[in-house]
Amino acid sequence: MMTNWKFNTLAVHSEQSPDEKSGAVSQPIIPAVAYSFEDADAAVAVVSGEIDGRYYGRYGNPTTRTLEKKMATLEGAEDALGVSSGMAAISIALMAHLSSGDHVVVTKDVYGGTHKFLSTIAPRYGMEHDFVDCTSMACVESAIKGNTRAVYIETPSNPSLTLIDIKAVAKITKRHNIALIVDNTFMTPYLQKPLELGADVVVHSATKYLNGHGDVVAGIICGEKKDIDYMRKDVMGDLGQNLNAWESFLILRGIKTLGIRLEKHCRNAQKVAEFLEMHPFVDKVYYPGLESHPQHLLAKQQMKKMGGIVSFEVKGGVQAGKDFISALKIALISFSLGDPETLVQHPASMTHSSIPDDLLAEFGIAKGLIRLSVGLEDVEDIISDLEQALLSVAVTVNK
């Protein structure tokens, strides 16, 4: 690997070369659970971590290892760990940093699954949390207590696309000698590099843009080697949250086109956001690429481009929002994001339904908010679809 390779060259070539035996260019899929050793000492050396190698499928796999090394390269991390889902990545990273009696500061409008994990399962094991407005450094600073071990943020957030200044939060966490964990799912390393901005751990739902084709559930954690080793051996492996070879192969394949896919997602999303902002039947549009976004300047500083997710409120409230998504013909109503297809959803009744109404309001998630994952179709077709659905709802509401 050349040290001066740029992102797309690394995405295609790093950690991958033709198979020595067959000459096959694409990554071999090795489903083996068991691995043999020359002698007993070699087995001990691999299990103890003295030599890098696989020994039992629950603790790692060779195809997954290629993916882990590639992700470490792309995020600029010492090492990475492939796991069974984005929620596995998030829960493993949190469990590795918190013991019973420890506390984590968490950004307010966090992904619904992360909110649920922290407010239902984690407290049963003594892990404390506070949901805090992490756009304000004064709020982050004052939320840190004697037993705080980490700050957990997501930027831009799901679904309201609020940004958090990673560099500024990292200054605070470094001063307090606690970990900064960043969910980089919406951006991927192509658009944002949290570790370069001072974060300690990056978590991903690889289910989204990294795989990019809507056919894998997976997660990745990137960070320091000693942290990743601990997460592999003492959390992921013991809890059985490992990723399998076939899914690792699919993500490796997806990553080869990550750059070109994201360029198109971002171009389409910018045009869609500009269209929605001008539309008389739309109340409010949330997209970091719009000058009207309150953190547009921060977005330009810490993100390469503005991403593929656009959120907005349709005039007429919750029912109009639901009627609107039902009237769409290209965009599919779906819980996921980051796929070639344009996907739409209503967070209050779908991805964030586990969050109580009063908290949704406090987190700035309007009940009529709609989240659009802008796909790879021709943008004129996506916009015509939005236009016909907006018109049909406008007619019903004005009757």
Ligand X SMILES: Cc1ncc(COP(=O)(O)O)c(C=O)c1O
Catalytic residues: 58, 111, 183, 208
Which 3 state secondary structure label does DSSP give 30?
A: coil
CA dist., res. 156 & res. 162, Å (int):
5
Instruction: Enumerate residues 6+ apart whose C-beta is below 8 A from 330.
Output: 342, 377, 381, 382, 385
**Bridging pattern class, strands 148-154 and 219-223:** unpaired
- Of the candidates 27, 85, 135, 268, which one interacts with ligand X according to CB under 6 A? 85
Alpha-carbon distances, residue 104 vs 145, 148, 243 (angstroms)? 9, 5, 26
CA dist., res. 342 & res. 332, Å (int):
6
Q: Which two tokens stand for residue 398?
A: 């004005």
The site that binds ligand X (CB under 6 A) totals a number of residues, namely 14
Q: Which of the ranges 10-18, 49-57, 178-186, 311-319 carries the binding residues for ligand X, by CB under 6 A?
A: 178-186
CA dist., res. 27 & res. 247, Å (int):
12
- Give, for 282, the enclosing helix (H) or strand (E): strand 282-286
* Cis before 156 (ω within 30): yes
Shortest distance (Å) from residue 394 CB to ligand X: 30
Residues of this chain, 92-131, that bind ligand X according to CB under 6 A = 111, 113
- Of the candidates 27, 63, 158, 188, which one interacts with ligand X according to CB under 6 A? 158
Residue 223's identity, in one-letter code, is G
Residue 238, Cα to own-chain centre: how many angstroms?
Answer: 24
Which 3 state secondary structure label does DSSP give 375?
A: coil
Residue 213's identity, in one-letter code, is H
Q: Which of the ranges 179-187, 256-264, 316-324, 363-371 carries the binding residues for ligand X, by CB under 6 A?
A: 179-187
Residues of this chain, 339-358, that bind ligand X according to CB under 6 A = none
- Of the candidates 60, 82, 86, 375, which one interacts with ligand X according to CB under 6 A? 86
Rg, Å, the chain Cα set: 22
Nearer to ligand X, 148 or 188 (CB): 188
- Of the candidates 185, 270, 295, 345, which one interacts with ligand X according to CB under 6 A? 185
- Of the candidates 75, 154, 200, 227, which one interacts with ligand X according to CB under 6 A? 154
CA dist., res. 135 & res. 336, Å (int):
26
Q: Which residue has the tokens 């978590």?
A: 203
254 binds ligand X (CB under 6 A): no
CA dist., res. 25 & res. 371, Å (int):
38
CA dist., res. 134 & res. 147, Å (int):
18
Shortest distance (Å) from residue 89 CB to ligand X: 8
**Residue ranges of E strands in 70-184:** 79-83, 103-107, 128-132, 148-154, 179-183
Shortest distance (Å) from residue 210 CB to ligand X: 10
Shortest distance (Å) from residue 336 CB to ligand X: 6
76-110 burial code (b ≥16 CB/10 A, e <16): ebebbbbbbbbbbbbbbbbbbbbeeebbbbbbbbb
Instruction: Compose the 190-229 pattern: x for residues touching ligand X by CB under 6 A, - for all others.
Output: ---------------x-x---------x-x----------
CA dist., res. 141 & res. 134, Å (int):
9
Give residues in contact with ligand X (CB under 6 A). 85-87, 111, 113, 154, 158, 183, 185-186, 205, 207, 217, 219
